[in-house]
Amino acid sequence: MKKAKFTQIFLVGLLALSVVNSGNIVNAASNVISNTTSKAANNVNVPSKITKQLLTGDKFNSKTVKVFIEPNNPAGIQQDIQLAVKDWSQATNHVKFEIVHDRNVANVRFTTGQISYFRNALTFQDQTTPNGNHVLIDRAVVKIDPQNFDQTKVSNFGIRVASHELGHVLGLADVKNTNLKYSTIMWYHDPAVGITQNDINAINYLY
Ligand SMILES: [Zn+2]
């Protein structure tokens, strides 16, 4: 069972990340990727084995992800987030992504601050609606701990971490199968690749 509020979902980082979910701490990290994507859609009606590993059962309750970046995020990280949003936008046309400048219209908010447990970032399900054994995520908050990132300029690492967290926002799970380290942005440890076709397939299947 998931808690409706502030279930901590993910993390990513240089160090192993951890996910706290309803009291369980799971080591998770993330990495993410490079961008291979095309909007050419893969309409997958039957989920592949990898797709199944990427799904949590939860999903975002909107096909438009409106991202508000708190102005107190360091400049480099703000750029990382913007590029992560762009990468996801280019990856799929099943979900739309936009940066908004009014937090009141956003359904995803990126904030900053220190995070314990050696995590680089965390995604919180800020507001959810029950959906069977799972939830529809109405609103999410992503918190990035700036200490492990280049705060003054964009970095691949920062982009990948932000993309990984957006994957969590959309309902993707951390992947811990070492064989899949280079196959998904949802690898739970330091990012090895960016958004991959497997990630896109999972999103296109889910939405
Ligand atoms: Zn994660």
Which of the 8 DSSP states describes residue 172?
B
Query: Where in 53-95 does DSSP place strands (E)?
Result: 59-60, 64-69
State the pLDDT confidence band at 160, using cuts at 50, 70 and 90.
very high
For residue 153, the CA-to-ligand 1 centroid distance in Å is 23
For residue 198, the CA-to-ligand 1 centroid distance in Å is 16
Pick 22 or 129 by higher pLDDT.
129
Dump pLDDT digits (tens) for 17-76. Answer: 433 332 222 333 333 333 344 444 455 477 889 999 999 999 999 999 999 999 999 999
Supply the pLDDT for residue 156: 96
Supply the pLDDT for residue 117: 74
State the pLDDT confidence band at 190, using cuts at 50, 70 and 90.
confident
For residue 172, the CA-to-ligand 1 centroid distance in Å is 9
Q: Of 1-15, 59-73, 177-191, which range is least confident?
A: 1-15
For residue 29, the CA-to-ligand 1 centroid distance in Å is 5
Do the Cβ atoms of 30 and 192 come closer than 8 Å? no
For residue 40, the CA-to-ligand 1 centroid distance in Å is 26
Report the alpha-carbon distance of residue 36 to residue 26 in Å, rounded: 29
Beta partners for 18? 27
Report the alpha-carbon distance of residue 6 to residue 172 in Å, rounded: 17
The CATH number assigned to the domain with range 7-206 reads 3.40.390.10
Percent of the chain with pLDDT over 70: 78
User: Stretch 3-24: mean pLDDT, rounded?
Assistant: 36
> Domain residues of the chain, as ranges?
7-206
For residue 121, the CA-to-ligand 1 centroid distance in Å is 8
Give how far Cα 105 sits from Cα of 64, 66, 68, 101, 102, Å.
Answer: 11, 7, 8, 8, 6
